[in-house]
Structure 1
Amino acid sequence: MDLYERTIDPKHHLSNFKSQMYLADASDATRCKAFLMTLTKAAMKWFDNLLLSLVTYFDDLARKFLTRFSIQKDKVKHAPSLLRVKQEVGETLRDYMEIFNKACLEIQNLPTKAVIMGLVNDFKEGSSINPYPSKTRLSCTKCKSG
């Protein structure tokens, strides 16, 4: 299990820890002691300064941990955030699509329309992902005569 360094959502860390303790069929006292081993730096300092007399059960410890480190929780992302994903100058289409797909995966219940709008928005702004750059686009008169 990864150590908690205040860079991830504390709910994720706690959930992972609880899952492992459940599988090990650990007692409440063991969970309290083992949780200390999953902390680093500031989180360890917090634990050291915690008045252990106020912690009777692991659930108490878990609540105090979440209260203290809740500012680290993941920020919820929404569909409009896709409009900020742009292909950088010199970035390959493959790299751009990889970044765009990762951004899509971070949004829960993402409607297909929002994905399409995110890509179309980049096309409209003259991005290099536009498969028909204005220099090579054929005019209607050339299409009819050719």
Structure 2
Amino acid sequence: MDLYNRMTDLRHHLSNFKSRIYLTDASDGTRCKIFPTTLTNTAMKWFDNLPPRSVTCFDDLARGFLTQFFIQKDKIKHVPSLLGVKQEVGESLGDYMKRFIKVCLGIQNLPTEAVIMGLVNSLRKGPFSQSISKRHPTSLYKVQEQIEKYINMEETVQLREHAPRQHNQHQA
């Protein structure tokens, strides 16, 4: 069974857990003890911070889980959240793309057009934003090819900028 990491549907996770655990005919207490093993990161922190004796049965635990993460789920899983991801001044294209992709992974049923539009509109002005704006890409494969090209160019420029400094330091 996959671990719950806030990127998957919490109701599906709970339903999947119940189906599997009921097949084993586990007691209510055992279900309460096993359920946390299906959680990661924030969900596990939530469980660890439950007050002692606040869970008297598995239904209490399930209700608490749904209540806690249903609220957070709505905050991070919509296309408009892409609008808040902007490339910062001085941020490399590679670092920006890591942040952008992380947000994209948190959005269910994200249309390709929204990814492309969000990416094009969130880049700071520069060679890559000018290039991608002119070509109006229609596939993520084409976008990925362009991104890799420009990331490689940025890395090459950085290496060249650092190489003379390191060479001069060795001579001194």
Structure 2 length-normalised TM: 0.47
Q: In the aligned structure 2, how far is the partner of 1:21 from the partner of 1:79?
A: 33
Bigger CA radius of gyration: 1
Structure 1 length-normalised TM: 0.53
CA RMSD of aligned residues (A): 4.2
**Structure with the higher helix share, 1 or 2:** 2
1:122 aligns with 2:122: yes
1:48 aligns with 2:53: yes
Q: Indicate how the Cα distance of structure 1 residues 107 and 64 shifts in structure 2: closer, same or farther if over 3 A, else same.
A: closer
- What is the count of residue pairs matched by the alignment? 117
Structure 1 segment 10-89 matched on structure 2, within 5 A: 11=10, 15=14, 18=17, 22=21, 25-29=24-28, 30-32=30-32, 34=34, 39-40=47-48, 42-43=49-50, 45=51, 48-50=53-55, 52=56, 55=57, 58=58, 60-66=59-65, 69=68, 73-74=72-73, 75-89=75-89
Could you tell me which amino acid in structure 1 is paired with residue 129 of structure 2? N
Q: Please report how far the alpha carbon of residue 69 of structure 1 lies from its aligned counterpart in structure 2 after TM superposition.
A: 3.4
Contact 1:87 1:96 in 2 (8 A): yes
Structure 2 gaps, min length 5 = 38-43, 132-172
Structure 1 gaps, min length 5 = 1-6, 133-146
Q: Indicate how the Cα distance of structure 1 residues 76 and 122 shifts in structure 2: closer, same or farther if over 3 A, else same.
A: closer
Q: Indicate how the Cα distance of structure 1 residues 127 and 100 shifts in structure 2: closer, same or farther if over 3 A, else same.
A: farther
